[in-house]
């Protein structure tokens, strides 16, 4: 049997990125994937006949350009499609806000609702851009330990201080505000119109049981503008052929580097001896030896499910059990016979707004109400919707004139029973709401699929259906991610590492955890 220096569990984008960098360092790497396809939640699936559906994740921004360059992903077929405009928010009175065209048009759009907001918008964007430069410096750095700092951690901190010696007191204050203030408080310091605030506010709550008024939620606003695709901060793109084509490009790249990938193989145990990893067991029977195991699964799946015969520190186990994996996320995928048209525009047929993210969240109060209903274990009467129609600029996804619409929805009821929840009712509720803005929607739906958190957990092995592998609040970021004892992609087991979104810098299709973990692994294996 072929021997491997390193085995990686899970062929999601972070697992593939990690494998690529390890292979570039001349390591023999095997990637094991439970499903028949690679990509994890960043996959393209034919859930409808002749349709390439981005079933879970749906747009790309945060993926690091350095990874694209290092692994030559464009050579292997990665093609990104810019969206202009990028954001479309229709409102109940048939007004709308269209953003992401160009600077002048954006200001004209905002001015429809508030002249003051238009004046502040450029300053707001500049402020975030400056903060992005500070935060992104840390994205590809290993977080230092805090409880028992080692010398290398002081070096890491010193490098940061030296690199950012010109950081101003105002920037420090602003960063503290973002980490502690609510999304609503932060936005209200800049803007007065509900139309603009509610459009921007969704970035502060996406993927988490947070309301716009939850202290600390403002950081997620920053997190979602950290991307730098096309060398334009905050721009989001479609991946041609669906999100899975990012991982297909990664797959071809790392295979050429010598990585082996095996699908339809379920890792049922990580084996250890004398507190060191020794290999994995496949399907409860086949043992594959390796001195180094890397898991792209979340820390709950990795330690509490796969380390069956291994004793772990009690405090470590308790910290893992305390991680918040709750998820408000629902995803409705639709196959349409034609494009929906929105009442806010008189013109029918293909329009520029079809390529944008379509926001149904007309006010902060609206979002807050949806949140409160979910916390009372109710289905949101009027949920928050973020809709995308990738077929508006990518005709490779369907045959004929069909279109695809993905609807990212919050909030799922906080503590629902999967056996009792009425998925049909939730889907109908979403369609009824969206039809108020797009009146032809109901009659053009050919097929649909709705995923609730328990579906996302079962399909993608994401505990609780949490798309970030653990919520991204202040107590679960940087040196606190995934636990304060082991933030450096390590675990209490020697040569067992983590490389998924459970680690720094967190969730989203970034590739950063995979890249960072590979560097730490190579240092540890020297």
Cβ-based neighbour number of residue 258 at 10 Å: 13
Low-confidence ranges of the chain (pLDDT < 70): 147-166, 233
Q: Kindly report the three-state secondary structure assignment for every residue of 441-460.
A: HHHHEEEEEEECHHHHHHHH
Q: Where are the domains of the chain?
A: 6-42+242-323+468-525, 114-230, 329-411+417-451
Q: Where are the beta strands (DSSP E) in 55-148?
A: 80-82, 87-90, 96-99
CB 294 within 8 A of CB 7: yes
CB 361 within 8 A of CB 196: no
pLDDT score recorded for residue 140 = 80
Tell me the CB-side half-sphere exposure of residue 93, using CA atoms within 13 A: 6
User: Looking at the DSSP assignment, which residues form a beta bridge with residue 481?
Assistant: none
* pLDDT tens, position by position, 308-345: 878 889 989 999 999 999 999 999 999 999 999 999 99
pLDDT score recorded for residue 161 = 47
Distance CA 389, CA 376 (A): 32
- Name the token pair of 55: 């079933």
CATH class in words for 6-42+242-323+468-525: alpha beta
Distance CA 240, CA 60 (A): 11
**Both ends of the chain: CA-CA distance in Å?**
25
Tell me the CB-side half-sphere exposure of residue 326, using CA atoms within 13 A: 17
Cβ-based neighbour number of residue 475 at 10 Å: 13
CB 10 within 8 A of CB 270: no
């Amino acid at each position: 049997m072929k021997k491997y220096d390193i085995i990686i569990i899970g062929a999601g984008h972070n697992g593939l990125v990690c494998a690529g960098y390890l292979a570039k360092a001349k390591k023999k790497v095997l990637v094991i994937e439970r499903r028949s396809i690679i990509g994890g939640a960043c996959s393209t699936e034919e859930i409808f006949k002749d349709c390439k559906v981005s079933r879970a994740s749906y747009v790309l921004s945060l993926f690091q350009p350095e990874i694209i360059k290092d692994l030559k992903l464009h050579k292997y077929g990665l093609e990104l499609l810019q969206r202009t405009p990028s954001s479309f928010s229709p409102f109940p009175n048939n007004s709308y806000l269209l953003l992401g065209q160009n600077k002048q048009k954006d200001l004209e759009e905002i001015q429809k609702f508030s002249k003051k907001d238009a004046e502040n918008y450029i300053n707001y964007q500049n402020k975030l851009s400056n903060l992005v430069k500070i935060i992104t410096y840390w994205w590809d750095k290993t977080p230092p330990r805090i409880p028992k700092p080692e010398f290398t951690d002081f070096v890491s901190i010193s490098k940061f201080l030296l690199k950012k010696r010109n950081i101003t007191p105002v920037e420090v204050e602003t960063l503290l505000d973002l980490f502690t203030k609510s999304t609503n408080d932060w936005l209200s310091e800049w803007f007065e119109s509900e139309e603009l605030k509610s459009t921007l506010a969704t970035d502060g709550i996406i993927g988490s049981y947070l309301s716009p008024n939850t202290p600390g939620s403002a950081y997620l606003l920053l997190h979602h503008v950290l991307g730098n695709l096309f060398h334009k901060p905050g721009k989001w793109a479609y991946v041609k052929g669906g999100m899975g084509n990012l991982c297909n490009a990664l797959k071809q790249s790392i295979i050429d580097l010598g990585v082996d990938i095996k699908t339809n193989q379920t890792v049922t145990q990580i084996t250890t001896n004398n507190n060191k990893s020794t290999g994995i067991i496949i399907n409860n029977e086949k043992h594959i030896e390796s001195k180094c195991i890397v898991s792209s699964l979340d820390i709950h799946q990795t330690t509490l499910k796969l380390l069956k015969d291994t004793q772990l520190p009690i405090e470590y186990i308790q910290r893992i059990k305390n991680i918040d994996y709750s998820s408000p996320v629902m995803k409705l995928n639709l196959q349409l016979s034609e494009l929906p048209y929105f009442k806010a525009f008189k013109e029918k047929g293909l329009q520029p707004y079809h390529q944008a993210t379509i926001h149904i969240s007309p006010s902060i109060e609206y979002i807050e109400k949806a949140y409160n209903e979910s916390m009372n274990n109710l289905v949101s009467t009027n949920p928050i919707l973020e809709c995308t129609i990738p077929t508006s600029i990518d005709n490779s996804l369907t045959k004929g004139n069909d279109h695809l619409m993905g609807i990212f929805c919050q909030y799922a009821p906080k503590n629902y029973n999967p056996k009792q929840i009425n998925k049909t009712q939730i889907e109908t509720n979403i369609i009824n709401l969206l039809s108020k803005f797009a009146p032809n929607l109901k009659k053009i739906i050919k097929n649909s699929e709705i995923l609730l958190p328990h579906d996302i957990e079962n399909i993608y092995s994401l505990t609780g259906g949490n798309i970030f592998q653990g919520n991204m609040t202040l107590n679960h970021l940087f040196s606190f991610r995934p636990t304060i004892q082991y933030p450096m992609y390590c675990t209490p087991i020697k040569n067992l590492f983590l490389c998924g979104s459970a680690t720094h810098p967190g969730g989203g299709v970034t590739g950063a955890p995979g890249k960072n973990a590979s560097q730490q692994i190579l240092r540890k294996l020297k």
